[in-house]
Amino acid sequence: MTNTSQSLFERGMKVLVEGVSSASRGPATFGGAPRYMSHGQGARLYDVDGRDYVDWMMAFGALPLGHAHPKVVEVVAREVARGTHFATALEVEVEVAEMLVGLLPHVDKVRFANTGTEAAMGAFRLARGHTGRRKIIKFEGHYHGWWDAVLVNTNPLPPTMFGHPNDPVRIPDSSGIPEEAWKDTIVVRWNDFDAIERAMKIHGAEAACVVTEGVMSNMGVIPPKPGYLKHIQDLCRQYGALFYLDETVTGFRLAAGGCAELYGLEPDIVTYGKALGGGLPMAMIGGRDEIMAGLEWGKVLHFGTHNAGRLALHVTKVMLETMLADNQAGFARIKHLGQKMAAELERVAKTSNRHAMRVQGVNSMFQVFFTEKEEINDFRDFCTHVDRVKFRNFVLRLFDKGVYMNPSATLHSLSSLVHTEADISFTAKAVAEVLEEMP
Ligand SMILES: Cc1ncc(COP(=O)(O)O)c(C=O)c1O
């Protein structure tokens, strides 16, 4: 632990709950004091003691352009001098919406929000308003923000608490959530063709929507089986439920058109966050005209003082322009870097051969799993076969070698436009050392 981080943690613990402002940044994840960061530049983070790290966390995916990208710095400096926020209609709001609608074939209209959670709350309310139905079908281990109705079965569980695969035990992941909030939430095993078919037979006619992450991103990285997401979409069409693809992680990350493009889908509703804002808080709900029309005149209400913040919109515009330039070269670049890093990690693990370690990834996202299993396919595999304590130990040791990842095995690592081949070699060397040193 670095000295200044330790003393800031001691001060912070006196005035901030767990010393931080999101449970995932504090001792529950780090097992003690986190590293306090002072600034970032490119692919590097710098802590308060002057150590630097190759950053593979990239603010949980919010930074496709890395830290302090010159174009982001320039646009924020220019625009902040013209006022921070007006809460009025803006030209840049129309411009960014036009870019998004032009890019995403399944989106005719968008509504901006600030965070993935808020956008999801709006999308669920819209799905219920549009269909006049109450039930929400979600999947084990999928996270759609910290709203009451869907904060169910989002955290790892001991296998004795899973329940039958056909009928998972529903467990809210927080106290303070009354049963009424999640009584219409149905939880289904993911990546299982029969399970969703069975659930739709029982609940499909009452379901407002089926919501899924395109790539499971809150239990490491778990890709969908071939044809699985299309299967969900087909069942939604059959039962008249909306197909809601949560692209908060995967949007402007896996491809310009997110998972919908990657897997050839036509979702009814999407939500985006994280990468969309290029590091500033920006999120959106998008969908076809007839569905989005539900938000008109407050039929389905969506408000927000900070919605469509002008600084964030200007950065969103810069992020889109930069990633899309030269025939979307930015997306090809982050995919190349992510896949190369994942392959290097696999290679290093095989060479060392001291630990059962696998790497799963999709394009620019990847995660290391300490597991004996060939593949991690769903929530149950993850909870049963992934050694999360060992992963944390691995990451804490990497900190001392100048590599930053999130210590929670449930999260994942990400490449950005500004990572380099040298960052990959540096990381591979650090990982090789840690694998030799770690018990
Ligand atoms: C798939 C998914 N949806 C929604 C959210 C919520 O986003 P936010 O943290 O911006 O509220 C997250 C956050 O990790 C997420 O992974």
Q: Which string of DSSP letters, residue by residue, matches 9-29?
A: HHHHHHHSGGGSSSGGGSHHH
Query: Do 120 and 213 contact (CB within 8 A), yes or no?
Result: no
Tokens of 327: 């025939």
Instruction: Write down the domain spans for the chain.
Output: 3-68+328-437, 70-321
Q: Residue 1 has what pLDDT?
A: 56
Tokens of 229: 């997401």
The answer, yes or no, to whether any atom of ligand 1 lies below 6 A from the CB of 244, is no
Instruction: State the distance from the centre of ligand 1 to the C-alpha of 249, rounded, in angstroms.
Output: 7
CB atoms within 10 A of CB 360: 22
CA angle 261, 380, 206 (to 5 degrees): 65
Q: CATH fold of 70-321, please? A: Aspartate Aminotransferase; domain 2 (3.40.640)
pLDDT digits (tens), the chain, 439 positions: 569 999 999 999 999 999 999 988 999 999 999 999 999 999 999 999 999 999 999 999 999 999 999 999 999 999 999 999 999 999 999 999 999 999 999 999 999 999 999 999 999 999 999 999 999 999 999 999 999 999 999 999 999 999 999 999 999 999 999 999 999 999 999 999 999 999 999 999 999 999 999 999 999 999 999 999 999 999 999 999 999 999 999 999 999 999 999 999 999 999 999 999 999 999 999 999 999 999 999 899 999 999 999 999 999 999 999 999 999 999 999 999 999 999 999 999 999 999 999 999 999 999 999 999 999 999 999 999 999 999 999 999 999 999 999 999 999 999 999 999 999 999 999 999 999 999 9
Instruction: State the distance from the centre of ligand 1 to the C-alpha of 427, rounded, in angstroms.
Output: 27
Q: Residue 39 has what pLDDT?
A: 98
Q: Phi, psi (5° rounding) for residue 426?
A: -60, -45
Q: Which atom of ligand 1 is nearest to the CA of 218?
A: 16
Q: Which atom of ligand 1 is nearest to the CA of 60?
A: 14
The answer, yes or no, to whether any atom of ligand 1 lies below 6 A from the CB of 116, is yes
As to burial, measured by CB atoms within 10 angstroms (0-12 exposed, 13-18 middle, 19+ buried), residue 48 is: middle
The answer, yes or no, to whether any atom of ligand 1 lies below 6 A from the CB of 117, is yes
The DSSP annotation for 254-295 comes to TBTTHHHHHTT---SEEEE-GGGGBTB--EEEEE-HHHHGGG
Question: Residue 39: enclosing H or E segment and its boundaries?
Answer: strand 37-41
The answer, yes or no, to whether any atom of ligand 1 lies below 6 A from the CB of 270, is no
Among 172, 152, 171, CA closest to 161: 171
Which mutation among 117, 138, 414 tests ligand 1's pocket best, with the greatest number of atoms within 8 A of CB?
Answer: 117
Q: Which atom of ligand 1 is nearest to the CA of 118?
A: 11
Which mutation among 136, 253, 274, 408 tests ligand 1's pocket best, with the greatest number of atoms within 8 A of CB?
Answer: 274
Distance, in Å, from the CA atom of 126 to the CA atom of 408, rounded to the nearest integer, reads: 33
SS3 content of the chain, % helix, strand, coil (to 5): 45, 20, 35
Distance, in Å, from the CA atom of 435 to the CA atom of 391, rounded to the nearest integer, reads: 11
Which CATH superfamily does the domain covering 3-68+328-437 fall into? Answer: Aspartate Aminotransferase, domain 1 (3.90.1150.10)
The answer, yes or no, to whether any atom of ligand 1 lies below 6 A from the CB of 250, is no
CA distances from 237 to 209, 230, 270, 362, 432 (A): 10, 11, 16, 27, 48
Query: Do 371 and 385 contact (CB within 8 A), yes or no?
Result: yes
Residues 6+ apart with CB under 8 A from 159: 380, 383, 384
Question: Residue 213: enclosing H or E segment and its boundaries?
Answer: strand 207-213
Distance, in Å, from the CA atom of 264 to the CA atom of 249, rounded to the nearest integer, reads: 17
Q: Which atom of ligand 1 is nearest to the CA of 247?
A: 1
